[in-house]
Chains A and B, each alone.
Chain A
Amino acid sequence: MAASKLSTVMTPKRWKMVRKGVQYVALGAFFVLFIASRRGGWAAEVVNAPMRLDPLGMLANLLASRTPLAGSALALVIVLLTLVFGRAWCGWLCPLGTVLDIFTPQRKLQPIFKEPARLRSIKYALLLITVIAALFTNLTLLIFDPLTILFRTLTVAVWPAIDRILSAVETALYNAPLLQDPINAFDKVARPALLPDTPLYYRDAALFAAFFIGLIALNWLAARFWCRYLCPLGGLLGLFSKVSLVRREVVASACTGCDACARLCPTGTIQLGKNGASDPSECTMCLECLRACPRGGETFKPVLKPAKLQPYDPSRRQVLASIGAAAVGVGVLRSETAARRDDAHLIRPPGARENDLSAKCIRCGECMRACPTGALQPALFEAGLEGVWTPVLLPRIGYCDYSCNACGQVCPVAAIPPQTLDDKRLTVIGKAYINTNRCIAWADHRDCIVCEEMCPLPEKAITLVESADSPVKLPVVNRERCIGCGICEYKCPLNQAAIQVYAIGQSPS
């Protein structure tokens, strides 16, 4: 009875409105938490909650790190949600899914290519390889996790670009005296709360933008192409959905086989000619089909038996193939030269190197967002292909702020260990070396003590010595004291710094 009452209040149109409302609220919340992830924003355990809600990231991290984290248990909320409502996460909550919905071209809902169903197995393959690779302590494929994709892209490409555009507009308009006060007022509100007060730079921002644009562009081949065929998190939730409670069922007596529902389904799971049957592993519970059926034949109700297997579901053969692929893949990645010897400039965030970062990092980019100087950058190949997009500190782009421990706080999986500021100040991430052939003081005998001036240590790790051969004071590094924060390299006035920080473990001692 309650159900029928609900159905009279909640017309299909209203269901759609409610779903869209929830989607936009969830996307908005993701944006707000993204913005508040900056150092000086909200509490770390609040802002990194979306990452900890992600069952794929948390599962892979658990398998690779073999360390259960209390915070990761948050992901069970989404697992439970899925066991009850199937892939409702995908249709109602996933911020990337909502972005893809926004950029869906009309009248192009269904694939424009043949045999689309076979592609659906890609996401399971990706999922299985990700999970099995995680058993080999490899998390590289988490770069395809939808939450990390969105967060990373916002950090590296979208937000800096918005800042750059707004700054250009502000600078141009600032020439008009009348506009100066409103611009100052805007800056007061927006910076640093929303946008950085000094511009941040990220390496290869265009690459990240292109990846994201490509992902959206796939929507022109089929609506939610990513969610249907590729998303490994969708695959994981799809497996849970095989036994989910509430499912879409068609009232056989009402169905005339008109296929209106099939045409409207954004994941294309409603099968033509099979009385509108659908696969709960593909259904995102978006409820669009309610609207389609002219005879009200669509119902969503509790079903207790497991869903039927589909041809694209992972077979024993596919599982075995995935194990093989993961093993070969990890083997190949670890045959790279990067695995033999780390790059001398692979400076990790404080404490992360000793903490086995590569076996824990889920590539979400929270640390890069939190880093106030923009020092933390996505690694390209410093750590080999295996470590792609893990955080690496580039002193020439930014330095490790002596009064900041934000990266360790915000990391959702403690890949960068959370440290007190006092401990972080003692954590050595590298050691500075002076190239005396280029140094202004050493090579050209001109006054320059910038590195010494900048050194933040109470007992400076860079000191100035007098020499009979030189009319000016010469900087030297006291390697016992140096923690490798890199402010010396960052501030060196030369176009290529004459003082450089080398990763620890590499330096001749």
Chain B
Amino acid sequence: MTNLTRRIFLRRLTAAGFSATGAILLAACSQPQADKPAVIVEPTGAPKPTTAPTLPAATAATLGAQPTAAAVAKATTAPAATNTAVQTAAAPTTAPAGLPYLVVARGGDNPEELVKRTLTALGGIERFVKPGNNVIIKPNMCVAYHTYEYAATTNPWVVAALVKLCLGAGAKSVRVMDFPFGGTAEQAYAITGIGDQVKAAGGAMELMTSRKFLKTDIPQGRDIKSWMIYDEILNADVLINVPIAKHHSLARLTLGMKNMMGTVQNRESIHGNMGQRLADLAGRIKPALTIIDAVRILMANGPTGGNLNDVKKLDTLIASTDIVAADTYAAGLFGVKPEQLAYIGAGVKSGVGRSDLANMKIEEIAVSG
């Protein structure tokens, strides 16, 4: 009896297996190649309406509705840069009425307070996150080697504060992820302290699976026309880029644009023409907001770190919807001139953002306690 049922069971299992395999093959074949980009590209259009203030169409509308001079107080006096930006890539060139283009918050010993004050100055988290939004926060968790004190990875409380703010603004989900190059993601999430803080704040840590890196067109790219980019990052309603400011031997510094490398594959090949390629990627991935964590910065032996003597505590955050502007300002913390960073030059040339700090409305906040 038992033998017979086992045999029948096995036979049915095999049949089920074959039919399932067949169905999968059919499903796979029925998706013609042309469909693939559509699947990737279509959802990336979605963020546009929801992150309105950071995108040019909406910005133009704002500008149209109000007198330009009033809207952007002292913000734009670099028309040439503005024009190329509008023509070539969807870069934010101005901030909405009355709001600063870039915010720098300093002081105190409470990263959460820094985040809150920064966002308030930028017009509140509601400017970026609408109720029901699917938010992804991308910190720098590039190695699974050290705790946050070593300044190789983003400050956990900065990330957690952002998670809380996004959830408070009604985000449907807030996910935090990175694809470390040294060690596993699971270990990186744990050892950097980010995993614990994010979970305590109500966010979710997500492991990036290699099969979700899909070949993605970069129409505006000057050097690279397509790359393997993480699908979910492109599909998110809001992407918040939270790099840590640190030393890097080739790029000199790794800041906001370089942090986007955690969302792509085949990173080693980026190094061939790093400046332009980072600009091309940043122009395609377009985080809604870049907040550079300079609570602690790593002055040498980056990006991996491991020596507390290389760490400098600055208790500073730099935030802008313009990734290039944020990087430009952050470079100053290291005494590095923007011209020395190839990706800033490339970012400006490609219209990803601006580096003319003198012409921006910058709000500096002193935070105490």
- The smallest beta-carbon distance between A312 and chain B, in angstroms, is 30
Q: Within the assembled complex, what's the spacing in Å between the Cα atoms of A413 and B210?
A: 35
Q: State which residues 25-40 of A face B: CB under 8 Å.
A: 39-40
Q: Mark A175-208, 1 if CB is under 8 A from B, else 0.
A: 1110000000001100110000111000000000
Please tell me the size bucket of the interface on A.
35 or more
Asked if B104 CB lies within 8 Å of chain A CBs, one says no
With known contacts A447-B250, A458-B305, A473-B249, A404–B268 Cβ distance under 8 A:
no
- The smallest beta-carbon distance between A332 and chain B, in angstroms, is 42
Please name the residue on chain A nearest to B235 by beta carbon: A180
Tell me which residues across on chain A come within 8 A of B268, comparing CB atoms: 448, 450, 491-493
Please name the residue on chain A nearest to B10 by beta carbon: A102
Q: Mark B31-45, 1 if CB is under 8 A from A, else 0.
A: 100011001000000
Q: Mark A439-473, 1 if CB is under 8 A from B, else 0.
A: 00000001111101111111110001000000001
Tell me which residues across on chain A come within 8 A of B211, comparing CB atoms: 167, 170-171, 174
**Interface pick from B72-80, B176-184, B218-226, B330-338:** B176-184
**Contacting residue for B186 out of A187, A192, A453, A458, CB 8 A:** A192
Q: Mark B294-320, 1 if CB is under 8 A from A, else 0.
A: 000000010111110000000000000
Q: Within the assembled complex, what's the spacing in Å between the Cα atoms of A197 and B143?
A: 16
Q: State which residues 250-269 of B face A: CB under 8 Å.
A: 250, 268-269
B249 and A453 form a contact (CB under 8 A)? yes
Q: Within the assembled complex, what's the spacing in Å between the Cα atoms of A174 and B31?
A: 11
Q: Within the assembled complex, what's the spacing in Å between the Cα atoms of A216 and B305?
A: 51
Q: Within the assembled complex, what's the spacing in Å between the Cα atoms of A88 and B3?
A: 23
**Contacting residue for A403 out of B36, B187, B208, B248, CB 8 A:** B187
Q: Within the assembled complex, what's the spacing in Å between the Cα atoms of A248 and B50?
A: 77
Tell me which residues across on chain B come within 8 A of A172, comparing CB atoms: 24, 27-28
- The smallest beta-carbon distance between A176 and chain B, in angstroms, is 7
- The smallest beta-carbon distance between A463 and chain B, in angstroms, is 9
Tell me which residues across on chain A come within 8 A of B248, comparing CB atoms: 453
Q: Within the assembled complex, what's the spacing in Å between the Cα atoms of A197 and B208?
A: 7
Tell me which residues across on chain A come within 8 A of B27, comparing CB atoms: 172-173, 175-176
Please name the residue on chain B nearest to A462 by beta carbon: B249
Chain B CB count within 10 A is highest, among A172, A452, A464, for: A172
Asked if A372 CB lies within 8 Å of chain B CBs, one says yes
Tell me which residues across on chain B come within 8 A of A197, comparing CB atoms: 184-186, 207-210
With known contacts A176-B27, A449-B271, A456-B145, A40–B186 Cβ distance under 8 A:
yes
With known contacts A403-B183, A447-B250, A459-B301, A175–B31 Cβ distance under 8 A:
yes
Please name the residue on chain B nearest to A171 by beta carbon: B211
Q: Mark B186-211, 1 if CB is under 8 A from A, else 0.
A: 11000100000000000000111111
Q: Mark B265-278, 1 if CB is under 8 A from A, else 0.
A: 00011011110000
B271 and A450 form a contact (CB under 8 A)? yes
Please name the residue on chain A nearest to B250 by beta carbon: A449
Asked if A8 CB lies within 8 Å of chain B CBs, one says no
Asked if A487 CB lies within 8 Å of chain B CBs, one says yes
Tell me which residues across on chain A come within 8 A of B7, comparing CB atoms: 106
Tell me which residues across on chain A come within 8 A of B210, comparing CB atoms: 197-199
Q: Within the assembled complex, what's the spacing in Å between the Cα atoms of A170 and B28?
A: 11
A452 and B182 form a contact (CB under 8 A)? no
B187 and A187 form a contact (CB under 8 A)? no
Q: State which residues 50-86 of B face A: CB under 8 Å.
A: none
Tell me which residues across on chain B come within 8 A of A259, comparing CB atoms: none
**Contacting residue for A464 out of B35, B191, B249, B272, CB 8 A:** B249
Tell me which residues across on chain A come within 8 A of B185, comparing CB atoms: 197
With known contacts A167-B211, A452-B249, A404–B24 Cβ distance under 8 A:
no
**Contacting residue for A175 out of B35, B207, B272, B301, CB 8 A:** B35
25 sample A-B contacts, Cβ–Cβ < 8 Å, listed by A number = A39-B184, A106-B7, A172-B24, A174-B211, A192-B207, A197-B184, A199-B210, A401-B183, A402-B182, A403-B143, A403-B145, A448-B268, A448-B271, A449-B250, A449-B271, A450-B271, A453-B248, A456-B182, A457-B304, A458-B301, A460-B304, A464-B249, A487-B182, A491-B268, A492-B268
Task: Give residues in A with beta carbon < 8 Å to B.
Answer: 39-40, 106, 167, 169-177, 187-188, 191-192, 197-199, 372-373, 401-404, 446-450, 452-460, 464, 473, 487, 491-493
Task: Rank and list the top 3 A-B pairs by shortest CB-CB distance, nearest first.
Answer: A458-B306, A493-B268, A458-B307
- Known pairs A197-B209, A455-B304; list 7 more (Cβ under 8 Å): A174-B212, A401-B144, A401-B183, A402-B182, A403-B183, A454-B182, A493-B268
